[in-house]
Amino acid sequence: MQARQLRYDDILIDIINEEYSILPLLSRFSIPLGLGNETIGDVCSRNGIDVKALLLILNYIRTGIIDSDTISVVSPLEVVKFLKNSHDYFISYKFTHIRKNLISALDLEPNATNSLILNFFDTFVKKVKEHFLYEERTVFPYISALVEDKDTNYRIETFQQHHEEVVGALAELKNIILRYYRTTVPNLMYDVLVDIYNCEEDLISHSDIENNLLIPMVYDLEKKSGK
């Protein structure tokens, strides 16, 4: 059964209890805990959050459906703010968390597979950081300039044409661990694998938001600006 569309008057804690997987998304809107029995609209109003942007993103990730009425009135800068918070989440918390647990799960005795796995993960993180840095130094400032009607030679088509998917390396890492790695602490490695699977899904959702929400919004803005 497909998830229903969330609304302003839904009690947020009820939604979380039904579908706790939205918690990482809520954290990127900087929503503090202590939710009481407030509705989504109340929580957004209390924390200065654009409720239309929150509902657009949450409903898209949950259902795969883009609300055409909502996307037409949400500023792309609200999506950019969410994406920036996501970058910080991955770099400052998620990748560090996985690496720490990965080291704990690797056998204590040095072997070639340990180094391969850790180097593989570090190379992946480096690539993702470069990807995020390009967005924050080039793409996001361009969107801000476009919203402010400032002249710039950049176009969102450039980003779309070179928008690499960064999750492939995680699939390879999972394959190496699942197929070839033997460890004396399997429970720890199973926990790491769950984290890697979750991170992979999270990064795919992140990319989907860029491809299917942000880029169309910017194309529409470029068209309106005559660019």
Identify the band that residue 183 occupies on the pLDDT scale cut at 50, 70 and 90. confident
The pLDDT of residue 202: 93
Query: What distances in angstroms separate CA 111 from CA 98, 168, 169, 192, one per listed residue?
Result: 20, 25, 21, 19
Sign (positive or negative) of CA dihedral 196, 202, 205, 209: negative
Whether the pLDDT of residue 140 is over 90: the answer is yes
| 134: pLDDT strictly greater than 90 | yes
Residue 105: the pLDDT is 87
Task: Count the Cβ atoms, other than its own, within 10 Å of residue 95.
Answer: 18
What single letter denotes the amino acid at residue 214?
A: L
DSSP 8-state class, residue 38: -
